[in-house]
Amino acid sequence: MEEKTFYKDDNVLVSTSRFVFSGRTFLISNLLSVSNSKVFKNDIRILAIVILLIGIFIIIVYQIFEIIIISISGILLFTIKDKYAVKITSNSGEENVMESRNKKYFQTIVDAINEAIVY
């Protein structure tokens, strides 16, 4: 049977037999499922919340710093963008193999891998 390519770009290849990303090859026959998942970066959010709490404390004690501290924490909270990952499940377990902020790009790859799995 001829190998069919479902998706290919500079970094990714998805065919009927394999999924290749950054030099790592996963056999399609070993994949049980694939999904697009959000990768939470709680460490930055926790930092922003701590800064906000410090800012609130400083408001009570030192009103001069209130705008600066609250502004920094507000900017951090509103500029944090979620990361997405291509999550594959194989006989070896579950793994996030790619991460990016481009959800649409990853959904294209997930769709191609799913198509390859059921082909």
Domain range for 107: 5-35+84-118
**The pLDDT value given to residue 96:** 84
pLDDT average, residue stretch 32-37: 85
pTM of the predicted structure, to 2 decimals = 0.54
Q: Is a pLDDT exceeding 80 seen at residue 85?
A: yes
Quote the distance between the C-alpha of residue 80 and its chain's center. Answer: 13
Residues 92 and 74 in one domain: no
Crossing angle (nearest 10°) for helices 66-79 and 42-61:
160
How many structural domains are present in the chain?
2
Q: Is a pLDDT exceeding 80 seen at residue 104?
A: yes
Residues 56 and 29 in one domain: no
Q: Is a pLDDT exceeding 70 seen at residue 1?
A: no
Residues 61 and 74 in one domain: yes
Residues 70 and 89 in one domain: no
Q: Calculate what percentage of the chain has a pLDDT beyond 70.
A: 96
Residues 89 and 75 in one domain: no
Residue-averaged pLDDT of the chain: 84
